[in-house]
């Protein structure tokens, strides 16, 4: 649900399909990741409290029974903590049935907030954040210009856990290409195991037009994985993750070639077996030269 006429595309996690989308920022303040085209055409802007309050009041008229709110765009938590607190308070007073508030989060935005600030946001209603780890390899994180290291990602997870805010982590299959595939999976599994998020989603790399990664792929400097290799990666990832406590795992994003759902470690063996079974249906897709222009 969206009550906003500001320009630019709207993105939200699949699990927020029924949430009220509140764009407290427009675009992404980092906006340098080589694989991402989400906000390339949107100029980053922090909205003023009056703008945000006006949107909340408008949504309150048309959707007074809203139970979930998702704070957009790419990194709403770059706002100052006191600003976020006033937004959370306004949401609670406007929507009496509100049960959950969530947001995307950039790693540096979370590193800029103390544990005490995060605890305060949790007490005001922020239940969960979605964080794009993408890869646990520092080599790959540097190549894609993520703006954070694997150790910083782990620190973010520790701060969120201490604050009591749930963490949903996203990783991207195929992000290392054929050259760095093994390192990508090995390091990603290791970092995910240390972060031990509440939720883990695996997406498959899509090489969008007008991105730096697309240019590298067209020049032959980056060799993308085939559908078969993508599913091989997800199987390897599942074998190598060692959860410290239950992690709800999903690979239900439209980019994926196999849909898996379960809880680690309880369902780990089943998920690995399902990934292996999917490979037999992808025997004809072992090379990256396939007809998928959105992927490459």
Per residue in 15-46, pLDDT tens?
998 999 999 999 999 999 999 999 888 899 99
How does DSSP classify residue 285? -
Q: What is the DSSP string of 129-142?
A: EEEEEE-S-HHHHH
Look over the chain and give the mean of its residue pLDDT values, rounded to a whole number.
93
| pLDDT 10s digits, 179-219 | 999 999 999 999 999 999 999 999 999 999 889 999 999 99
| pLDDT 10s digits, 109-163 | 999 999 999 999 999 999 999 999 999 999 999 999 999 999 999 999 999 999 9
Distance CA 17, CA 102 (A): 12
Q: Which whole-number Å values give the CA distances from 151 to 14, 122, 178, 207, 212, in the listed order?
A: 27, 23, 24, 27, 25
Determine the pLDDT at residue 281. 87
Contact 225, 178 (CB under 8 A): yes
Residue whose tokens read 């949401």: 91
Helix axis angle, 227-240 relative to 268-279, nearest 10°? Answer: 160
Cα angle 241, 242, 244 (rounded to 5 degrees) comes to 135
14-282: CATH homologous superfamily?
Aldolase class I (3.20.20.70)
Determine the pLDDT at residue 10. 85
Closest CA to 221 of 143, 147, 136, 287: 143
Model confidence, pTM: 0.92
- Domain extent listing, the chain: 14-282
Determine the pLDDT at residue 296. 42
Determine the pLDDT at residue 41. 84
Helices (H), 128-226: 138-143, 150-163, 181-195, 212-218
Four-point Cα dihedral 109, 3, 199, 101, nearest 10: 70
């Amino acid at each position: 649900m969206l009550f906003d006429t500001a320009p630019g595309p709207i993105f939200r996690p699949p699990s927020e399909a029924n949430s009220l989308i509140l764009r407290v920022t427009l675009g992404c303040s980092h906006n340098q990741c080589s694989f991402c085209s989400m906000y390339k055409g949107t100029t980053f802007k922090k909205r003023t409290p009056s703008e945000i309050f006006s949107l909340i009041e408008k949504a309150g008229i048309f959707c007074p029974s809203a139970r979930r709110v998702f704070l957009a765009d790419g990194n709403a938590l770059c706002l100052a903590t006191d600003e976020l607190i006033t937004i959370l308070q306004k949401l609670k007073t406007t929507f009496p049935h509100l049960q959950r508030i969530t947001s995307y989060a950039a790693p540096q935005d979370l590193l800029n907030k103390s544990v005490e600030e995060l605890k305060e946001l949790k007490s005001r209603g922020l239940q969960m954040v979605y964080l794009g780890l993408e890869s646990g390899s520092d080599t790959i994180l540097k190549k894609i210009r993520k703006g954070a290291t694997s150790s910083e990602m782990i620190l973010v997870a520790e701060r969120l856990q201490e604050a009591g805010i749930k963490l949903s982590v996203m990783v991207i299959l195929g992000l290392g290409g054929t050259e760095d595939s093994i390192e990508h999976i090995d390091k990603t599994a290791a970092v995910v195991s240390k972060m031990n998020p509440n939720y883990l989603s695996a997406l498959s790399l899509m090489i969008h037009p007008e991105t730096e990664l697309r240019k590298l792929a067209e020049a032959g400097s980056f060799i993308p994985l085939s559908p078969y290799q993508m599913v091989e990666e997800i199987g390897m990832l599942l074998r190598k993750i060692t959860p410290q406590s239950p992690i709800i795992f999903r690979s239900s994003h439209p980019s994926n070639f196999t849909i898996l759902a379960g809880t680690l470690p309880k369902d780990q063996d089943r998920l690995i077996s399902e990934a292996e079974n999917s490979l037999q249906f992808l025997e004809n897709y072992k090379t990256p030269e396939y007809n998928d222009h959105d992927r490459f």
